[in-house]
Structure 1
Amino acid sequence: MKTKFIIPAACILGLALAVAWMANIFNDRVPPGTVESAAQAVGDAVPVVTGEIMIVEPVPGTIVAKQATDISSRILARVEKILVRAGDTVKKGDLLIQLEQADLLSRQAQATELVNGAKARLKEADLQNKRIKELFKQGMVARSELDQTQASTDSLQAELSQAQQLLNETQTTLLYSTITAPISGRIVDRYAEPGDTATPGGTLLSLYNPQSLRIEAHVREQLALSLNIGDAVSIQVPSLSRELQGTIDELVPAANAGARSFQIHVLMDYSVDLLPGMFARLLFDLRKEERILVPTDRIARVGQLDIAWVLSDGSSQKRLVTTGKKYNDLIEVLSGINEGDRILPVQR
């Protein structure tokens, strides 16, 4: 009977001891109050001053090619061979695609024979016309026969001209079976393979000129109205961790009514690792402002908090601060420190 009560009592006692241990009852407690931290040497304190910085507005943009083209066929024909692939560099006039020519060569041969036949008939008609004219002068044939012969000659002349035009057309069509590069540049993509049927207007290759890369961006109205063609612009390409310089090349003179912005184009120097479609950031200088700047090594990062130690009444005082942008070895402090404060080195 006693065992029946001893076990529950032991469980309750064990639970009470566990709660007491977690509440830190068995350890010495620090009495309420403040603990003065050891002050750093006054000589280590740096006065907080304000500095003049340039306020910059970043504008996102995209690298695009000013000279870009989709290469397509002007005739319906089977693709015989494609000599380039994505990433290849080509020069203007280089052979890119060869279409099948068998049908076209056959049509050219037919047109050539039509021209030869029309020339032969016209030659015979000219001789006949000359004979009739001689006989007409001698009064041996009627005027109507002469007119009939002349009409026959004119008709054959028209047939020859028509056959010649047909031959020119087949020769021009034959030229369309050989597709060359319209500009010097780099192949972006290949949309067909040998054996495919090329249709008029269907894209086979895409090509761009790397020397014509520029940045396309949309700028808010107020900022856009202050810009001029030729203005210098700082450029950042985050994926390459690179900063470049560019100039405004074009300002589209019409705003986007939905976004209330203007489109601008910025030229930049050629670089082999810049590609169309990459993200870029334009930096526009707006104005200069006074801001509080402190050395970056005087700010400690603890988790997501920024902490600084300030000399106050001969002792160090820990303060939470809100920081902004970095400028070389200085960092902007938005709140938590005032001008005239003396900031101490980071305390570990």
Structure 2
Amino acid sequence: MTVSVNKKWLMPLIAIAGLLVMIAAMAGLFNHKITPEVLLPKTEFSGDTYSVTFQPVAEPENVPATIIAQQNTLVSSRILAPISDLKVRAGQIVRQGEILMTLDDNELQTQVAQAQAQLAVVNTQLTQAHLQLTRAMKLQAEGLIAVNDLDEARTAFDQLSASKTRAEQGLAQAKVMLSYSQIVSPIDGKVVDRMAEPGDVVSPGQVLLSIYNPASMQIEASVREQKAVQLDIGQTLDVEVASIGLMTTATIAEIVPVADSSARSFLVKLDISQDRRLMPGMYSKVKLPAQREQQLVIPSSLVIPYGQLEMVQVVNNGLLERRYIRTGQSVDNQHVVVISGLAVGDLIARQ
């Protein structure tokens, strides 16, 4: 029994030991170590050097932005009725006042006809009452009827006059309700989307179409507060819309005077010239004015590529040594900004 248990654990232990030996070999534990000084020996240097200094460098900043439509509207129904005709589709250009869709108006037409008939009846009655009032005034002047009879005729005429006013108001209201059966575009623009189809029953307030005006495009950008406070209304900035290959300018129209406390930025809106390719929601970039800041700059010719790394040869106490650096943006195609690896006063060998 004991022999069987020992054999059971022996093979896993051997496998683990072999794996550890393999890892150690791959790590180079069994290889002869060569010191860095042997690979990269320091040598004496007495040639020309370049002294690292701060230089003013303009740093442009591109801010992500979004194309928006300044004039954007939702078209909704004002009555409860089924859609009988839908004349537009997404992407179609429409004009202000153009009929977009028609709702079933049979019931509304009936209401208008009833209001017209009611007004006609009241007009007939009012005409008769006016004749009676005129006759009563003449008879009362001749002393043939009492004053009370004249008052009754005048009261009847006044009541019918009020009825006519109410009937006219009812007819006007019925016509207004009938006009709601034809839904028209409130602006010149392009249809973004339609949310209903012919045959659908729509209710008051239900959104049916979305329209924006392509001639009123703007750009919205969140600009960090250090940069935003340096911008002015009317200032022109360069803009890029990469998806359509557009490079143009835009004018600052508005700077919202309240900062976003979470992002420490201000919302800036810019007017952009009309281009039929621009659509709301497109990604764009706004180039902010460059500011000159002091940066470590060295000639690009002194940077030595080393695989995916970069290095320079620094002269330290008369000895030449290699030092890895990290570079940033290019300056005038002849110099480069050094982000790390060097300090002011370091001497770089010109060789």
TM range (shorter): 0.7 to 0.9
Residue 23 of structure 1 deviates from its aligned partner by: 10
Kept after mapping to 2: 8 A contact 1:87/1:187: yes
Consecutive unaligned residues in structure 1, runs of 5 or more: 1-14, 37-41
What's the offset of the Cα at 1:271? 2.4
| Residue of structure 2 equivalent to 1:6 | none
Matched to 1:158, the amino acid is A
Q: CA deviation at 1:220?
A: 3.5
1:165 corresponds to: 169
Determine which of 142, 148, 159 is the counterpart of 1:138. 142
- Describe the superposition over 1:110-156 as per-residue Cα deviations: whole angstroms up to 9, x where unpaired: 11111111111111111111121222122111111110011101111
Counterpart Cα distance in 2 of 1:123 and 1:130: 11
Match in the other structure for 1:7: none
Q: Distance in 2 between matches of 1:118 and 1:166?
A: 12
1:33 is the counterpart of 2:77: no
Q: For 2:140, what is the secondary structure of its paired residue?
A: helix
C-alpha change, 1:243 and 1:116, in structure 2 (3 Å) is same
The residue aligned with 1:61 is 65
**Residue 232 (structure 2) aligned to one of 228, 231, 239:** 228
Find the residue that maps to 2:166 and give its secondary structure: helix
Shift of 1:192: 0.7
Structure 1 stretch 179-188 or stretch 322-331: which is displaced more? 322-331
From the superposition, tell whether residues 209 and 299 of structure 1 become closer, same or farther in structure 2 (CA, over 3 Å): farther
SS in 2 for 1:174: helix
2:249 corresponds, among 225, 232, 245, to 245
1:72 equivalent in structure 2 = 76
SS in 1 for 2:167: helix
Aligned 8 A contact 1:79 1:198 in 2: yes
Give the corresponding residue for 1:271: 275
1:306 counterpart residue number: 309
Aligned to 1:116: 120
Q: What residue is the counterpart of 2:133 in the other structure? A: 129
Shift of 1:268: 1.8
Identity %: 33
Q: Deviations over 1:11-57 (max 9, x none)?
A: xxxx9xx98x9999xxxx99993479xxxxx9xx9999976431234
The match for 1:4 is none
Which structure 2 residue ranges, 5 or more long, are not aligned? 1-17, 42-46
Quick check: 1:334 aligned with 2:316?
no
2:109 is matched with 105
TM-score, normalisation: structure 2:
0.75
Residues of 1 paired with 2:246 and 2:306: CA distance? 26
Provide the rounded CA distance (Å) in 2 between the counterparts of 1:113 and 1:101. 18
Between the two proteins, the alignment pairs up a number of residues equal to 322
Shift of 1:82: 1.6
Q: Which amino acid is 1:74 matched to?
A: R
| Partner Cα separation in structure 2 for residue 301 and residue 180 of structure 1 | 68
Letter in 2 for 1:69: T
Give matches, 1:189-268, under 5 Å: 189-240=193-244, 242-268=246-272
Shift in CA distance, 326/265, structure 1 to aligned 2, threshold 3 Å:
same
Please give the alpha-carbon distance, in whole angstroms, between the structure 1 residues aligned to 2:350 and 2:247: 33
Structure 2 equivalent of residue 177 of structure 1: 181
TM-score, length of structure 1 as denominator length: 0.76
